[in-house]
Amino acid sequence: MSQSHAQAYFGRRYTLSASHRLHTETLTAAQNRDAYGKCNNPHGHGHNYVVEILVGGPVNSETGMVVDLAGLDALVGAKIMARFDHANLNADPAFDQQVPTTENLCRTIFALLKDGLPAGKLESVRIEETENNFFECRSVPSEPLGREDH
């Protein structure tokens, strides 16, 4: 295997402060309290989410990098930070039809970034919600494209 086939990964961490209330209209008030506990409190609560973005791919022979860092920062700034930082997640259209759990926030961020990055670059989005809880959303390997070198 030549070095040009090695895949490298680059991770970058962003901090995002947002509030949410875990509640779904499909459950009764009692069921919501059972499912979400304190997180169902009507006034909501906040988190300082640590969002880790992992991108992978071949190292660019010219720049020596896996991804354009400034481009990644700009993308995350525009698509994620501008939208969710210091926001009430329940008020965002992304959570009209889904509860703003961190699982769903992770999936939402993954989908928003995937579209803005070159195909196959986004490996995972991992979110630390608290010291004890973290969530991760990963790309699922698709059928490999036909290769001439194997």
Q: Which of 62, 129, 143, 150 does the annotation list as catalytic?
A: 129
Nearer of residues 46 and 58 to Ni ion, judged by Cβ? 46
Least spacing, CB of residue 36 vs Ni ion, in Å: 9
> What is the three-class DSSP state of 70?
helix
Q: Kindly list the distances between the CA atom of residue 46 and the CA atoms of 28, 84, 86, 89, 92, in Å, as whole numbers in the listed order.
A: 23, 12, 9, 10, 15
Residue 92 DSSP symbol: S
Closest CB to Ni ion among 39 and 117?
39
Q: Is 129 a catalytic site residue?
A: yes
Q: Output the smallest distance, CB 93 to Ni ion, in A.
A: 20
Angle at Cα 133 formed by Cα 52 and Cα 46, nearest 5°? 85
**Closer to Ni ion by Cβ: residue 20 or 121:** 20
Q: Quick check: is 39 catalytic?
A: yes
- Single out the segment in contact with Ni ion by CB under 5 A; choices: 33-41, 63-71, 118-126, 139-147: 33-41
**What does the DSSP 8-state code read for residue 90?**
G
The structure tokens listed for 111 are: 């989908």
Count of helix runs (H) and strand runs (E) in the chain? 4, 5
Give backbone dihedrals phi and psi of 139, rounded to 5 degrees, phi first: -70, 145
Q: Which is nearer to Ni ion, 8 or 39 (CB)?
A: 39
Closest residue (Cβ) to Ni ion? 39
In the block, tokens 């009764």 appear at: 28
Q: Is 137 a catalytic residue?
A: no
> Considering the complex, what minimum distance in angstroms separates the CB of residue 83 from Ni ion?
18
* Nearest distance, CB of residue 146 and Ni ion, angstroms: 45
Which residues of this chain interact with Ni ion, rule CB under 5 A?
Answer: 39
Which residues does the annotation mark as catalytic?
A: 39, 86, 129
